[in-house]
Chain A
Amino acid sequence: MHNKLGWLRLPLYGVLVFLYLPISVLIFMSFNASDAPFTWTGFSTKWYSVLFDSPDILEGFKNTLIVAVITTIISIVLGTLLAIGLARYQKSSSLEAIALTPAIFPDLALAIGLLALFTSLHLTLGLHSVIISHALFCMAFVTAIVRGRLAQIDSSLEEAAQDLGDTAIGTFFRVTLPSIKPAIIAGGLLAFTLSLDEFVIAFFTNGPSSPTLPIVIYSMVRFGVSPEINALATVVLLISALIVTIAQRNVKVQDQL
């Protein structure tokens, strides 16, 4: 079977090397004992313990978790409702396009639009404004994934329940929800990772007193390479990779786009 690939093996494995080489070098260097970022002197996990002593990083991590958890809850509720509405009650390609736009809209344009809105409302910027902003595009990802799942499952069960006199809410909880649960879990996990790692929108819509972790990372990487960032980067990469891998078990990759 494999022989069929022929020369195509080159791009296939080449792209994997391309994608994973920089990350691997970064992870490798995070275990370097040396203070000098590029000279390998021996194995050490000391940079990981440094992370736990840094109040900036811990504060950033706490803020990011608060934002990501609340964003995920809002995204799941709004995104699932919207997906069901689009799949079952109002089939409209233009509404569907509007619902998915926040996911593909340039993040910088979303960021300055939200900043303009919040400023004109005289809203103090802080974690709450980041949450409002993150929920906007995270919701679109939940909508896309749940909508994809709904397109695959038969709507006749839901129709039967309604014909038998069940209310819309009853049908939702007894019939629809159980069948789309894997998609909701996957969408929620992806929303969580997206929010966890999002920088541009957080950078514009956050106040100065409560930086999220990506904002802390940004202020660190601007000043070049350090072993401490390598350790922090490794932890952050592994958290996202773990969550996304769990999400992939619930839906096919193709459904995400």
Chain B
Amino acid sequence: MALAVKSEGRDAIKRRALLSRTLFLVPGLTYITAFMLIPLGFIIAYTFLSRGTYGGIEFIFTFENYTRALDSLYIGVLIKSIFIAAAATVLAFLIGFPVAYAITKLPTNRQNIMLVLIVLPFWTNFLIRTYAWIVLLNTQGFLNKGLINMGVISQPLELLYKPSAIVLGLLYAYIPLMILPIYSALVRIDPAMKEAAINLGATPAQAFRQVTLPLALPGVLVGAIFVFVPSVGNFIVPELLGGGKTVMVGNLIRDQFLKARDWPFGSVLALSMVIMLLVLFFIQARVNRRVLGDARA
């Protein structure tokens, strides 16, 4: 009798847990499946199909989209995009690391104010933030006028519409995404670790290089992914600050879908971006595991 009640109770608890799990998880996961995973499946499927005469696709199996992507023209665009995005990422790290490190040295209340100030522009309109640089850097713009008035230059400088302007725009847009994860990694480092290194005879510079830097590495890699991934697929900055002269893979994808109407080829290019993201996350996860493992050992 007692046993029956007990097992019935256990069943009821199990049933209730299953019900709660379903209730909380199913709506969101269904939504993500329907509108992210299935669309991703569409992109993968499209890469093996042929383009329709008037856009869209035809169900004829082919590898042609992949062989076409290997054309030196498109490989060139891909390499240029990676190069530009990597330049923005490296600059974001070189500037972002000292900034994040400096923030950790501030009193706690000022740390929070500083973080809000750094992240605030990121949450505002991307187009407008990019456009602001045109206002600033145009040949008749604020900077050129200022420099001419000060007598530094006599002719306005052409600062826009070249690859360096694209790097600048991407750096501006995404540097908060580098600073935040590095900051999070730095504040989590136990000060005792650095003290121990110094007690064992390390100079502050050595302690920084051998303790702080390796422990901050997972944060740096997260930051690098957060800057690199949206940079490499960006088509707004190349268009507005690059003047459309430098074509990046994002511009190419957009044009395949909205202008050339070659969806299968556009899908191959988009898939290459997704694969880049996955590879980077895989590397980050491995480094993360190694650093955490080392710290524990």
Contacts and interface: CB of A to CB of B under 8 A. Distances in A.
A119 B263 CA distance: 12
Given A23-B129, A168-B19, A139 B31 contact: yes
Interface in B78-108: 95-96, 98-99, 101-103, 105-107
A12 B139 CA distance: 29
Contacts of A168: 16, 19-20, 23
A248 interface: yes
B226 A104 contact: yes
B32 to A, nearest CB: 6
Contact of B133 (A22, A162, A214, A229): A22
Nearest to B36: A102
Contacts of B123: 190, 193-194, 197, 240-241, 244
B5 to A, nearest CB: 15
B225 to A, nearest CB: 8
Interface in A66-96: 77-79, 81-82, 84-86, 88-90, 95
B93 to A, nearest CB: 12
Contacts of B238: none
Contacts of A50: none
A21 interface: yes
Nearest to B270: A109
A112 B266 contact: yes
Given A115-B257, A117-B38, A119-B56, A233 B183 contact: no
B127 A217 contact: yes
Contacts of B114: 12
Interface residues of A, number: 92
A164 interface: no
Contacts of A199: 125-127, 236
Contacts of A90: 21, 25
B25 A16 contact: no
A37 B138 CA distance: 11
Contacts of B16: 162, 167-168
B235 interface: yes
Contact of B181 (A98, A224, A233, A257): A257
Contact of B95 (A11, A84, A99, A119): A11
B115 A98 contact: no
Contacts of B132: 22-23, 25-26, 233
B237 to A, nearest CB: 12
Contacts of A4: 105
Contacts of A254: 115, 180, 183-184, 187
Interface string B132-147: 1111101011100100
A173 interface: no
A237 B98 contact: no
B277 interface: yes
A193 B138 CA distance: 29
A181 interface: no
Contact of B172 (A18, A82, A221, A237): A18
B125 A236 contact: yes
A110 B29 contact: no
A169 B112 CA distance: 36
A233 B126 contact: no
B39 A113 contact: yes
A47 interface: no
B229 A106 contact: yes
B61 interface: no
Given A116-B42, A116-B263, A26 B116 contact: no
Contacts of B145: 38
B138 A113 contact: no
List the 9 closest A-B pairs by CB distance, nearest first.
Answer: A113-B39, A85-B24, A82-B28, A22-B132, A85-B25, A8-B102, A168-B20, A11-B98, A253-B115
5 contacts: A19-B176, A85-B23, A104-B277, A117-B39, A233-B128
Interface of B: 16-17, 19-21, 23-25, 27-29, 31-32, 35-40, 42-43, 46, 56, 95-96, 98-99, 101-103, 105-107, 112, 114-121, 123-136, 138, 140-142, 145, 172, 175-177, 179-181, 183-184, 187, 222, 225-226, 229-230, 233, 235-236, 239-240, 250, 253-254, 257-258, 263, 266-267, 270, 273-274, 277
